[in-house]
Amino acid sequence: MKKIFSIIAFIAIVVIMLSAGLSAKEKLDCATIQSGTIVDSAGNPITVGFDEYGYNYQAHMFNGFYDNYSRPLELVDSGNRLQMKWNDAWLSNKDCDGDGKLDRPSPYIGSDAWLTNHEEGVDENGDHYTYFVKIIAVPTTATQNDGVWYNEEGIEIGPVIWGSFAIVQEVMSGEGAIYCSPTGPGLGAGHINP
């Protein structure tokens, strides 16, 4: 009996070690920005640090002129400023699926992805303003009704934006918080209180 137990324990240890080794190997097989093999939407290699538009994909952020967020053919060199930050679930800084692009989840729902935008500039009246918004991918148990996402208990998560996402917080200079999710303004679907 002791011999059978020893054999089963040995096999279990070997299986655990092999699976841990495969996980480490899978992570090693992911291309990184430093490898020079990951490209942007125009086919140019993505590099570490800020690019000409204001993106720093390694750091999960954008810091530049608002109109450069869409990577236009002609760079904008004046106007309102935008700073975006996101987590790895929103847009990774690796290519693990081998397509030569930064990985992103599909679908976003249930991914815990989040994004923040902080815009600063001058409005149409010539007044200085700042605007801040937190956006999350909703959990798989969320439901949508009349342009608003709700959690499984029926509590509002926030207004729908871009289909799979909800706004959980908005702050505007001169007005303060113009929206704060009743489930909480934290980041990622895991923040949502029951």
Domain boundaries, the chain: 2-191
Closest by CA to 160, choosing from 143, 176, 174, 173, is: 143
Q: What's the pTM value of the predicted model, to 2 decimals? A: 0.81
- In this predicted model, what pLDDT tens digit does every residue of 102-113 receive, in sequence order? 999 999 999 999
Model confidence at 79, pLDDT cuts 50, 70, 90, reads very high
DSSP string, 80-95: -EEEEEE-TTTS-SEE
- The CA-atom distances, in angstroms, between 75 and each of 20, 66, 67, 90, 155 are 46, 11, 8, 25, 43
